[in-house]
Structure formats: C-alpha cells, structure tokens
Structure 1
Amino acid sequence: MRLLILNPNTSRGVTERIGAAAEAVALPGDAFTTICPADGPELIVTEADAEEARRAVVDTVKGYTAPCDGIVLASFGNTGARDVRALRGDIPVFGIASAAFSAVRALGGPFGIVTFGKELVPGLQAQVDESGLGQALLGITYVPGDDFGDPGTVQDRYRDDLAALCRQMCARGAASIVLGGGPLAGLATSLARDCPVPVIDGTQAAINLMRTLVSSRADDGGRGRVG
C-alpha cells in the first residue's frame, strides 16, 4: 500500500512524529511518504491558520506526482480534505479526525478527547459536532497553559500530564479516548499502557482504515467508492 501522509502544518518535528507513528503500523510491502508543506503555520490553531494550511495542502498535493493508493491528512481539522478529494477523486482521502471518530463508533459507548492546550478545544469540538458524535462526547480535557512551544516536542514535555488526563477521562466513564492533534501522533501506544480503555491515535486509525479501503478497491478492480 502506497500512501501520501501529509502533515498540514510546517513543523518538521511533528512531521517526523507522524511518520514514525505511520511506520509503526506498516506491513511488509507498504510504502509511506510523510511530508509537510513548504509554507504555512507551524501549528494550526485559528481559522486563519486553517485557511493558510488548506491552501498549502492543496498546493502540496498538486505538486506530488508519485503513484499512491491513498492520502492521509494528518491534522485534526481534516485540513483541506474536501479540496484534496476534488483533486484526487480516484483514491481514498482521510483526515485523522474522521478516522479517529470511525474508531470511536466501532468501539461504541461514550468517549473523551485529550489534547495539549485550551486553544485547540474549539476546533476539536467543531470536528465532534460535524461528525455527529456530540451526544457521545464526555468532554475535551487539556494540559493547562497557553504556551505550546515547539509543537514537535509537546508529547515529550506533557507526557505525564496527558497520561493523567487519560486516566481521569477513563474514571469519568469513557469507553475510548482520542488524542486530539497531529503533534500527539504515536503517543497512544505509550499512554495505553497506563489506561484501561483504548487510546486512539488518529494517524494510525487513518492508515488502518485506508488499508481496508485500498484492499477492497483492489478486489473489485478499483471500482469501489472512494472515501
């Protein structure tokens, strides 16, 4: 399976995290290319950030000419998903929020979101509302503080805080927990060791979902519906 995994922000550190998370669920024969745009915001927080990143995502996809079986947009805003689907209607395109929420639905029950900053909450809530999972959401919890610093290092700096938030969300009755934000890619495996319910990594969920779709399309000669 050949995938383009696109980090819509320009943080090299976050892009490396996303790439590592993807490779952790790779199977023999998979070929993942993980990149970020040349220009745009280092972290997508505001609507202005999202619009700037959307344009950068579209330009990056237009410039990517290598063969691929699907595209993963590794931001929780599913940044540029509609535009990329319009450009590449021949292959599946998934944002990590959509994939994470698909996993929530499959697991069933109430869920919570854990993230690394208060400013990210409105965007995460918007994705929940768009997904139709609002009634199942117990809440969105975050690490206190307003200074994200280098987004590529937030999971190292806040690992213990995020683990505590996951345990608290579990105690509230969550059947699953979603890690909110591309910079947290790859952290779910570590946090799950101390949490009795599934901790969902959106990047890895997207790749697993993509694998099912790519396999299905191969079986029917590529005629299957593109997601």
Structure 2
Amino acid sequence: MRILVTNCNTTQSMTDEIVRGARDAASPGTTVEGLTPSWGPDSVEGWLDSYLSAAAVLDALRTYEGPAYDAVVMAGFGEHGREGARELVDVPVVDITEAAAHLACLLGRRYAVVTTLDRSRGQIEDSLHTAGVGAHCVAVVGTGLGVLELGDAARTTDAFLTAARTARDAGAEVLVLGCAGMTGLERAVRDAVGVPVVDGVGAGVRLAESLVALGLGTSRVGGYARPRDKRRSWGRR
C-alpha cells in the first residue's frame, strides 16, 4: 500500500518531518511518500494562506507524476481543500483535522484542539463543523507559536503543555494536536497532562490504511461527484 501525504505549505523541511511521523505511524508494508506544493505560502496561518494553500495542493495533486498511490492524507490542520481533493482523485482522501477529531470522539465525550496561533481557531472550528464533529469540541487553544517556530523543541513543548492544561481545565477529556508540525509531541503531553493525545498525521495514516484495506472509496453520488467536464485555467504558466 502506498500513501501520498501532502504538506499544505512549501517548506520542504516540514514535509520531511511530517513524512517521518507518518512512516512511524504506518503499518509494515505501507509506503509513505511526501508531496510539497511548488507554489503557495511558506506556512499557513490565516484565511488567505489557507485558500492559497488549497489551490496549490490541488494543483500539486493534479500534476503529480510519481508512483501510483492508494490514498491521500492531507496534512494541513484546519486548512481548506479536502472536498476538492475528494472530487479530484480516485482514491480515498483523509484530512488530518477530520481524522484526529473522529478518533478523539472514540476516546472521550469531549475533546479540545491545541494549535499554533489563535488566528487559526476560526478555520479549525469551521473545518470540524463541516466534518460533523464540531459539537464535541470544547475548545481550540492556541500556543502563540507560528508554524515555522515549531522547530524549537523546548519552546514548543513548554507552550504546548501550557495550552494543553488550559484545554483540559476547560473540560477536554482528549486532546488533539492541531498542527502537522507538532507530530511527535503526543507522548510528552499525554504523560504530563494525563489524557489521551491524538496526532492528526498518525490518525490520518491509519484511517487511510483502513479505508484501502476495506476496499472503500469516495462516494461519487452527490457532493463528491466527479468534476463536470469544462475548461479550467490553473493560473499563469
């Protein structure tokens, strides 16, 4: 089985980190490959970045010429594009936001998301609502760190633990890592805060594997029907 993991930004080092986390979570025999958009924002932090990222990721999937893959995992937390990707490709598409929330709902009645900047809260809340899992989310808590600041491991861990305790005190029984760049923090946070912690990348990979193993694919009836045949311009070349 081969899974294609798409980064939502153009920072290759972040793609590499996401792929490492995805490979750690994958089952034996599953191959994980990363895909970095060739254009778009360096990091996604806000509505403008998110919409630009969505178009860039869809373009990267549209023009992909690598080995065939069995599923796509979209590694942008709260970012746009998953619905378009499900129309575009002929394999299951799993978004890490949706995947993490679904698993969190299996582990407790109420969960919270700990993310980067507070400005991302609206996008995450909207994404969870659209996926049908927003009602169980008690809080989306920011750490105050930008996406490109997550490379400072000590600072990131301290900020995440502070936000995680705030989320737990708000009533969360499960925590979700709200950024693909936070992959790997779940054990430290779980041990310090005392609740289950779900990493979206790992959740996305495992759910993608399950869909492929069960022979399930995206429904083509209704909202995810194939795009209508028409001319589409993909920007200037």
Question: With structure 1 as the length reference, what TM-score do the two structures score?
Answer: 0.87
Aligned-partner residue type, residue 60 of structure 2: T
Q: CA deviation at 1:134?
A: 3.5
Percentage of identical aligned residues: 27
Q: CA deviation at 1:103?
A: 0.6
Q: Secondary structure at 1:77's aligned position in 2?
A: coil
Q: Is the aligned partner of 1:37 residue 2:12? A: no
Q: Do the aligned residues in 1 keep the contact of 2:43 with 2:148 (CA within 8 Å)?
A: no
In structure 1, the partner of 2:81 is 80
Q: CA deviation at 1:9?
A: 0.8
In structure 2, the partner of 1:196 is 194
Partners of 2:13 and 2:196 lie apart in 1 by 26
Q: CA deviation at 1:78?
A: 4.6
Change beyond 3 A, Cα 1:198–1:149:
closer
In structure 1, the partner of 2:235 is none
Aligned-partner residue type, residue 195 of structure 1: V
Superposed counterparts of 1:1-16, under 5 Å: 1-16=1-16
* Count of matched residue positions in the alignment of Structure 1 and Structure 2: 218
In structure 1, the partner of 2:218 is 226
Aligned-partner residue type, residue 22 of structure 1: A
Partners of 1:157 and 1:172 lie apart in 2 by 23
Q: Is the aligned partner of 1:183 residue 2:181? A: yes
Q: What are the Cα deviations for residues 170-190 of structure 1, in whole angstroms up to 9, with x where unaligned?
A: 233311111112221232233
Q: Secondary structure at 1:173's aligned position in 2?
A: coil
The runs of at least 4 aligned residues of structure 1 exceeding 4 Å deviation read: none
Q: CA deviation at 1:152?
A: 5.0
Partners of 2:37 and 2:118 lie apart in 1 by 25
Q: Is the aligned partner of 1:122 residue 2:122? A: yes
In structure 2, the partner of 1:70 is 71
Gaps of 5+ in 1: 218-223
Partners of 1:140 and 1:176 lie apart in 2 by 12
Partners of 1:149 and 1:181 lie apart in 2 by 8
Q: CA deviation at 1:13?
A: 2.7
Question: With structure 2 as the length reference, what TM-score do the two structures score?
Answer: 0.84
Aligned-partner residue type, residue 111 of structure 2: F
Aligned-partner residue type, residue 211 of structure 1: E
Q: Secondary structure at 2:193's aligned position in 1?
A: coil
In structure 1, the partner of 2:47 is 47
Q: CA deviation at 1:27?
A: 2.4
Gaps of 5+ in 2: 220-237
